[in-house]
């Protein structure tokens, strides 16, 4: 029996297959539209077998995911046949989804039913790039695997215990009581995994451990964690707040937004498009939203590319300092995500100036770092960890726990 993990984004769907008993990953998949609206590429990587790549013709997102799941099951059956020497259908005991927004209602992993789907729909306008994709993926799994239970892990759930002083905005209190406007926080699945992994690497219990975790990728956020519990996250009511990102602006003066709406003739729709898709690294550099391409342009002397990098690092460094003060000190700084795990320059630039917190980076360790590793000097009171985030593993583990718990309750009754 296996666990299927689905991580649905606006232009890609990541798939993972895990053994139900051992939680070992046996296969991975990626469904990628790559700019096409009618065709997607499905790539499957089984363990110890050559990858399989197929083109999928599909009129919409849901149909593409259904076809991808059908092909995945077909390939899993073939791989099992070749390894076992006998016919064996690929069976999924449970499907786990990474979902973005569960509001205040969903505080832990849950079985997905109509009530849960209605909660997700309620917040779809707050994360328009991600929530509709997640709902389509749930619908696709229902079509392809109708008898298999589905479990949702919500990014917002890791931040369920953030105190009111941190989650409320300084606007009329009725905005919260009437409209639900508050800080939620995102990338919770990644931050939760890195919290556990950091404690393992440091050989310390979660109690008493103070972490700042920087998940840096196309979307980026940082979380302050004390005793294994999130204290705050740099994203807010939506994933638009916080760090400068690939195409998202991050935090800007609200007065600027009022100014361009009122005095410069921008419509709300135009401003929405600019803040989500034409800002961040892309907006400043004019080169790309891809950090690697901006780094390459900067090395070639592109001034705006270098400016974009400097702005990005400055904002991350400033927020690390602020979060460390919120925690009353720091035991470890964690870098994760595509940029955090791979950019030597960014890690070095963020850590430069943090010596005042007791953090001392080892330049040679940083230059040769491969996750999971500690890149602080031997004498540094504060450790610097590079961790490969494994959201899919955490989703698989928690999905298994939910169905096992349900089975236990049924047997008890």
What is the C-alpha separation between 276 and 181, in angstroms, rounded? Answer: 19
User: Tokens 């392809």 map to which residue?
Assistant: 144
Angle at 122 between CA 116 and CA 127, to 5 degrees: 105
Tokens linked to 291: 């950090």
Strand partners, 31: 13, 42
Task: For residue 374, indicate whether it is catalytic.
Answer: no
What is the C-alpha separation between 293 and 289, in angstroms, rounded? Answer: 8
**CA nearest to 281, candidates 266, 270, 291, 296:** 291
Catalytic-labelled residue, pool 32, 155, 227, 331: 155
What is the C-alpha separation between 132 and 120, in angstroms, rounded? Answer: 9
DSSP H/E element including 335: strand 332-336
Q: Please classify residue 173 by burial: count the beta carbons closer than 10 Å to its beta carbon, then call 0-12 exposed, 13-18 middle and 19+ buried.
A: exposed
- Roughly what angle, to the nearest 10 degrees, separates helices 391-412 and 188-202? 100
Strand partners, 95: 4, 150
What is the C-alpha separation between 322 and 317, in angstroms, rounded? Answer: 9
Strands annotated E in 206-292? 210-216, 220-226, 229-233
- Roughly what angle, to the nearest 10 degrees, separates helices 61-84 and 131-144? 50
Q: What is the DSSP string of 27-41?
A: EEEEEE-TT-SSEEE
The residues that are catalytic are: 155
């Amino acid at each position: 029996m296996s666990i299927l993990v689905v991580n649905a984004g606006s232009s890609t769907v990541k798939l993972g297959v895990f053994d139900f008993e051992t939680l070992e990953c046996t296969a991975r998949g990626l469904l990628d539209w790559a700019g096409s609206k009618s065709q997607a590429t499905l790539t499957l990587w089984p363990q110890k077998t050559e990858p399989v790549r197929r083109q999928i013709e599909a009129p919409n997102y849901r149909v593409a995911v259904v076809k991808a799941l059908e092909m995945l099951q077909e390939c899993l059956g073939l791989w099992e046949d070749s390894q076992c020497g006998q016919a064996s259908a690929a069976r999924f005991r449970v499907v786990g989804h990474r979902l973005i927004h569960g509001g205040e209602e969903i505080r832990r992993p849950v079985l997905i039913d109509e009530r849960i789907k209605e909660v997700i729909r309620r917040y779809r306008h707050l994360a328009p790039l991600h929530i509709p994709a997640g709902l389509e993926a749930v619908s696709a799994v229902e079509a392809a695997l109708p008898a298999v239970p589905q479990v949702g892990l919500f990014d917002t759930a890791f931040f369920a215990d953030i105190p009111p002083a941190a989650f409320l905005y300084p606007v009329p209190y009725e905005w919260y009581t009437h409209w639900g406007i508050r800080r939620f926080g995102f990338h919770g699945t990644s931050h939760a995994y890195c919290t556990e992994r950091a404690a393992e690497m440091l050989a310390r219990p979660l109690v008493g451990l103070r972490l700042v975790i920087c998940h840096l990728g196309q979307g980026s956020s940082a979380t302050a964690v004390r005793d294994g519990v999130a204290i705050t996250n740099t994203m807010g009511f939506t994933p638009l707040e916080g760090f400068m990102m690939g195409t998202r602006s991050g935090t800007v003066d609200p007065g600027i937004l009022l100014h361009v709406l009122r005095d410069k003739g921008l419509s709300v729709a135009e401003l929405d498009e600019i803040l989500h898709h034409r800002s961040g690294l892309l907006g400043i550099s004019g080169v790309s939203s891809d950090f690697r391409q901006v780094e390459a342009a900067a090395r070639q002397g592109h001034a705006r590319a270098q400016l974009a990098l400097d702005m990005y690092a400055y904002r991350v460094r400033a927020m690390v300092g602020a979060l460390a003060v919120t925690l009353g000190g720091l035991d470890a700084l964690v870098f994760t995500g595509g940029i955090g795990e791979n950019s030597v320059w960014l890690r070095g630039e963020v850590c430069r100036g943090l010596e005042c917190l007791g953090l001392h980076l080892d330049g040679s360790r940083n230059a040769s770092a491969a996750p999971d590793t500690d890149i602080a000097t031997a004498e540094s009171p504060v450790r610097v960890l590079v961790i490969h985030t494994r959201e899919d593993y955490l989703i698989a583990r928690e999905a298994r726990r939910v169905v096992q718990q349900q089975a236990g309750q049924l047997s008890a009754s």
